A = this chain, B = another copy of it.
């Protein structure tokens, strides 16, 4: 006889296979799809989203979950059931018409955003964006009512299960007390040095070859994944076939190179999720914050260090011709320069949290109904002034219209970026303590594999982090990391 738990695993395997087709279609949309394919693709993916919602909210699902709770399950099955229930609950409270309306509105808004951002057209954007906010608030309210948290916290929980805004307020509140001062001190220190800039052009074919070399060195499995080009780099696909992307500029290779290293961190997490459980919720990455901690482990903790850059320098000489700028010490200076700027994705490690705090504060107020979409530009400017001393008035393109997340109806995701940096610093503090000699790449990735990657969603985030590091999230490690790297300890 098939148990209720087994029936659930079959349904989730089916969902995983549907998601496989969605992931590949989504990857294709960003990489190779010609423009006229857009409407048909949106319709096909929308249809699939509806089907997945319907599959997950099938009335039987509730009964199976209830029945499975009283079946005898081992701890892994129990953890899997917990994740199934979470996935089910988050979908079951949303009516199908709302799910469909959100897909359509955000697809329309995201598409409009692509041109409106270029045109710096905030008013035009607002017309499309209002509907996205209205529908997102409605979804957040339904999720909130079901879980007893605030609407924004309900959204946050989708990406960062267990995290609440009062924790973020504490974390970011503390960061705000020391970050502006630390940025000022670091900039003052760096004003005495001027790294040599590499001279381009850097042919795209050479950048591509270098990227592949680095991915191989960083352990990416090319028999189970690819790297391609897209305007907005991402790591997608499925664990068995990870698709990451980058973009190239002939006048600058570091952006693409660091982007590839970043995405390779995401990719190794995906490629090392628990194989025996693939297809089940247990085998999914723990949270977006933990996912980002892996990309930032690669990009910030591993790649921006002298031992890695010493290995990198000869590769740069081979691919771009010998340059003085490729001296490891110079590369370190280049990749750790602190420079407040308007664009989040171009931000350095130290100013990055400011970009996140700003977005977090605005999107929380927006979803909780404390502000309206038209209030965003003024708030954006006010906070950019306060955190980074930059004026963004009238510059919507490089201000509140710069990210794809809000146009796509994604709220509660931004904090994951900052949390990821904090988790990464905490992990590497532990790795350094436990390392016999140096924190070599092999030691570090073995630690990440054992403690994070193969754990999937077995434990709640707090437990995962405690088991790995002996304590729950402690932002002091991030501050110490910045201090050590930028203020010399």
By a beta-carbon cutoff of 8 Å, the part of chain A in contact with chain B is 14, 17-18, 20-22, 24-25, 28, 32-37, 39-41, 43-48, 51, 221-226, 228, 237-238, 240-241, 278
A241 CB to nearest chain B CB (Å):
3
Question: How distant is the Cα of A40 from the Cα of B39 in the complex, in angstroms?
Answer: 27
Q: Please give, as numbers and ranges, the residues of chain B lying within 8 Å of A47 by CB-CB distance.
A: 14, 17-18
In-complex Cβ contact of A25 among B25, B36, B222, B226 (8 A): B25
Most buried by B among A34, A43, A226, A238: A34
The A interface is mostly helix, strand or loop, or mixed, namely helix
Question: How distant is the Cα of A228 from the Cα of B241 in the complex, in angstroms?
Answer: 19
Contacts A/B (CB < 8 Å), 11 sampled:
A17-B43, A18-B47, A18-B48, A24-B28, A25-B25, A28-B28, A32-B226, A32-B228, A34-B223, A39-B240, A40-B240
CB pair B25–A224 under 8 Å, yes or no, is: no
Most buried by B among A41, A222, A238: A41
In-complex Cβ contact of A40 among B18, B28, B35, B241 (8 A): B241
CB pair A40–B226 under 8 Å, yes or no, is: no
A242 CB to nearest chain B CB (Å):
9
**Given known contacts A17-B48, A20-B44, A28-B28, is B240 in contact with A36 (CB within 8 Å)?**
yes
In the complex, besides A20-B44, A32-B226, 6 extra interface pairs with C-beta distance below 8 angstroms are A17-B43, A17-B44, A21-B48, A34-B223, A37-B224, A40-B240
A10 CB to nearest chain B CB (Å):
11
Question: How distant is the Cα of A28 from the Cα of B20 in the complex, in angstroms?
Answer: 12
CB pair A225–B44 under 8 Å, yes or no, is: no
A105 CB to nearest chain B CB (Å):
19
A376 CB to nearest chain B CB (Å):
34
CB pair A41–B20 under 8 Å, yes or no, is: yes
CB pair B21–A25 under 8 Å, yes or no, is: yes
**Given known contacts A40-B240, A240-B40, is B21 in contact with A226 (CB within 8 Å)?**
no
A37 closest partner in B (C-beta):
B241
A278 closest partner in B (C-beta):
B40
Most buried by B among A17, A28, A223, A237: A17
A39 closest partner in B (C-beta):
B240
Question: How distant is the Cα of A41 from the Cα of B23 in the complex, in angstroms?
Answer: 11
Q: Please give, as numbers and ranges, the residues of chain B lying within 8 Å of A51 by CB-CB distance.
A: 51
Q: Lowest 4 CB-CB distances: which A-B pairs, in order? A: A37-B241, A36-B224, A20-B44, A40-B240
Q: Please give, as numbers and ranges, the residues of chain B lying within 8 Å of A228 by CB-CB distance.
A: 32
A99 CB to nearest chain B CB (Å):
16
A28 closest partner in B (C-beta):
B24
Question: How distant is the Cα of A179 from the Cα of B474 in the complex, in angstroms?
Answer: 83
Q: Please give, as numbers and ranges, the residues of chain B lying within 8 Å of A25 by CB-CB distance.
A: 20-21, 24-25
CB pair A44–B32 under 8 Å, yes or no, is: no
Q: Please give, as numbers and ranges, the residues of chain B lying within 8 Å of A46 by CB-CB distance.
A: 17
CB pair B225–A34 under 8 Å, yes or no, is: yes
Q: Please give, as numbers and ranges, the residues of chain B lying within 8 Å of A44 by CB-CB distance.
A: 17-18, 20-21
A144 CB to nearest chain B CB (Å):
32
Q: Please give, as numbers and ranges, the residues of chain B lying within 8 Å of A224 by CB-CB distance.
A: 34-37
A215 CB to nearest chain B CB (Å):
13
Most buried by B among A22, A36, A39: A36
Question: How distant is the Cα of A273 from the Cα of B225 in the complex, in angstroms?
Answer: 35
Question: How distant is the Cα of A36 from the Cα of B22 in the complex, in angstroms?
Answer: 18
A238 closest partner in B (C-beta):
B40
Question: How distant is the Cα of A406 from the Cα of B18 in the complex, in angstroms?
Answer: 28
Question: How distant is the Cα of A389 from the Cα of B259 in the complex, in angstroms?
Answer: 60
**Given known contacts A14-B47, A25-B25, A28-B28, is B40 in contact with A20 (CB within 8 Å)?**
yes
In-complex Cβ contact of A21 among B14, B21, B221 (8 A): B21
A40 closest partner in B (C-beta):
B240
A106 CB to nearest chain B CB (Å):
18
Question: How distant is the Cα of A223 from the Cα of B34 in the complex, in angstroms?
Answer: 5
Q: Please give, as numbers and ranges, the residues of chain B lying within 8 Å of A40 by CB-CB distance.
A: 20, 238, 240-241, 278
A263 CB to nearest chain B CB (Å):
16
Question: How distant is the Cα of A45 from the Cα of B24 in the complex, in angstroms?
Answer: 12
Q: Please give, as numbers and ranges, the residues of chain B lying within 8 Å of A33 by CB-CB distance.
A: 241
Question: How distant is the Cα of A37 from the Cα of B225 in the complex, in angstroms?
Answer: 8
A21 closest partner in B (C-beta):
B21
A24 CB to nearest chain B CB (Å):
5
A45 closest partner in B (C-beta):
B21
A18 closest partner in B (C-beta):
B47
Q: Please give, as numbers and ranges, the residues of chain B lying within 8 Å of A48 by CB-CB distance.
A: 17-18, 21
